[in-house]
Amino acid sequence: MSLVLYGHPFSSYTQKALIALYENGTAFEFRCIGPETPEHVNEWLRRWPLRKFPLLVDGDRNIVETSIIIEYLQLVHAGPVSLLPADPIAALEVRFMDRYFDLHVMSVVQHAVEGALSGDAVKRSDGIALAAEKLERAYAWLESHLIGRTWAAATNFTLADCAAAPALFYADWTHRIAETYPTLRAYRARLLQRPSFARAVEEARPYRPLFPLGAPARD
């Protein structure tokens, strides 16, 4: 049985896993989760009732959580692009940056999105305000951290950049990365030019009207 990935093209965490698969040209079947594919939804929930995606299926194995999925791919389905350094200390830096983008950027965006999805004007306003405050802090740290770097945690593209790409993509839609952060803006632009992420962005383009905060006419 080939690898199967359950998810949705517009999901940031699905994109994170897709980037890793595309980087190495790994063969897999994508099963989109949505109302038009109830059979995929039912199988996904049978395998992972916590209702989180993406889910990677490899034979009898169900692998969840994007960082774990990417590490699993490197261990079991390694390709020419190594997304985690062999050196343990260097790998720690990559894992830290992966956590940074998931916890301090993407989770903040999700809070604002959930506020908008609530349909409550106060929750929407509060969610956007809190996201702006937290993202400003995250942007400021990244601006100084990324100086002199091409990628987030190493000379090469890694797991950290798989996390950064969708996180910064949607963060900029939620609270624009100001011109006072030129290093961060340039890094986001490099991520958008990376073929693996550019492919994920294009595949998700038809779903942009779903973004509850309003997708900007850029990217």
CATH number of residue 111's parent domain: 1.20.1050.10
**Does 184 reside within a domain?**
yes
**Does 94 reside within a domain?**
yes
pLDDT of residue 155: 87
**Does 167 reside within a domain?**
yes
Is pTM beyond 0.85? Reply is: yes
**Does 141 reside within a domain?**
yes
pLDDT of residue 16: 98
Residues near 2 by Cβ (< 8 Å), separated by ≥ 6?
A: 27, 28, 29
**Does 216 reside within a domain?**
no
Domain that holds residue 133: 88-194
Q: What is the pLDDT of residues 166-175, one digit of tens each?
A: 999 999 999 9
**Does 175 reside within a domain?**
yes
**Does 132 reside within a domain?**
yes
Strands 28-32 and 3-7: parallel
pLDDT of residue 79: 94
Low-confidence stretches of the chain (pLDDT < 70) are 1
Looking at the structure of the chain, the number of domains it has is: 1
**Does 76 reside within a domain?**
no
pLDDT of residue 1: 53
pLDDT of residue 154: 75
